[in-house]
Amino acid sequence: MFGKSVNLIKVFGFQIKVDISWLIIAFLVTWSLAVGFFPFFLEDLSPGTYWILGVLGALGLFFSVLFHEFWHSWVARRFGVPIRGITLFIFGGVAEMEEDPEKPKDEFLIAIAGPFASLFLAFVFHAFYRVSQALNWSEEIIVLFMYLGLINFIVALFNLIPAFPMDGGRVLRAILWHWKDDQRWATRIAASLGGVFGLVLIGLGILQILTGNIIGGVWYFIIGMFIRFIAQNAYRQIVIKNTLSGARVRTLMNSPVYVPPDITLSQMVEDYVYHHHYKMFPVVDKDNLEGCITTRQVGEVERSQWSGTMVRDVMEPPSRDNTIHPDTDIMRALNRMNSLGKSRMMVVEDGRLAGMISLKDIMGYMAARMEVEGDRSFSD
């Protein structure tokens, strides 16, 4: 979903990140506040003052989105759902859950936490707005509090729309899931509504463009496309989850092809990479797993130095980022590999290399099972 992101801070164990695309929305929000919102409510101020208010308003929105996503993350962690962090990106923010909640009640509470947090902030900022009016504070502060109260109320209402992937769509999925005890059916309904909502936004965008509001129209159009994509992908994810249900890494892993640590990179490339065509190889010395080496790591070494560089000098040690236990659920393994950007992982049990698992193995198994069972869900 994201491109390059920058780590900011950790809050209660949650890594806060900002995707580069967030700079676009930060600028647009600041600009729209500085040239539109604040000049409408506050007349005869200097351009510099309007831009300062615009920056403060954008920072307030930044905090509000983080607060919203923090409570999603906090509730998810309470229910045992692993959270990789919170990322702000062009369409707002997202709590990066490594897997879906296992129960409809958990999903409901995780989903509703964000809108409730935004409503709470809306109430707090509205209270500040009323207090600042009563105490005759400067008009700039009064209008700033008014904006922050209003924007949090809008964020809460928008997220409560019952269309996946909005929080309201997740709430709807949780209710339908609890009613029918069928997560797949519930996801299909919520995702279909998300697709319809996306089309509505696309239509509004086109209408806005035709009536002259090009920037607003393009923005509606892009958000609509994004919502449709996420909604369709959500249903695909549930189909994959059901297809892989019950399978373990142990059942799909292959016998490992490993390299010794004391050969040169030239030997490794000639004898292993060109022969087996793998992008990653375990490094084993006398049955002891020393680590792994990838073709990317080899490529980072100047070719003229390959003959004098040993595998041991380039390899990385075993870690959670390149190993997985054989009894891990395949869906969880797939999520980990996708989140880490890995196409192959070493299967390790009791510190010893048991095999290798790859995305190709998982996709092949899934395709074969869907073909045998006659599942045509992706074309629905």
Known catalytic residues? Answer: 69
**In whole angstroms, what is the distance from residue 333 CA to residue 344 CA?**
11
**In whole angstroms, what is the distance from residue 152 CA to residue 142 CA?**
16
**In whole angstroms, what is the distance from residue 215 CA to residue 212 CA?**
9
**In whole angstroms, what is the distance from residue 93 CA to residue 179 CA?**
30
User: What's the angle, vertex CA 110, arms to CA 335 and CA 366, rounded to 5?
Assistant: 25
What residues have CB less than 8 Å from 335, skipping those under 6 apart? 98, 99
For tokens 């065509």, the residue is 277
User: What's the angle, vertex CA 170, arms to CA 168 and CA 176, rounded to 5?
Assistant: 105
User: What's the angle, vertex CA 153, arms to CA 194 and CA 87, rounded to 5?
Assistant: 60
Please answer whether residues 63 and 300 qualify as being in contact, where contact means their C-beta atoms are separated by less than 8 angstroms: no
Three state DSSP letters for 152-218:
HHHHHHHHCCCCCCCHHHHHHHHHHHHHHCCHHHHHHHHHHHHHHHHHHHHHHHHHHHHCCCHHHHH
**Bond preceding residue 39 cis, omega within 30 of 0:** no
Q: Pick the closest to residue 232 from 269, 272, 263, 188 (CA basis).
A: 188
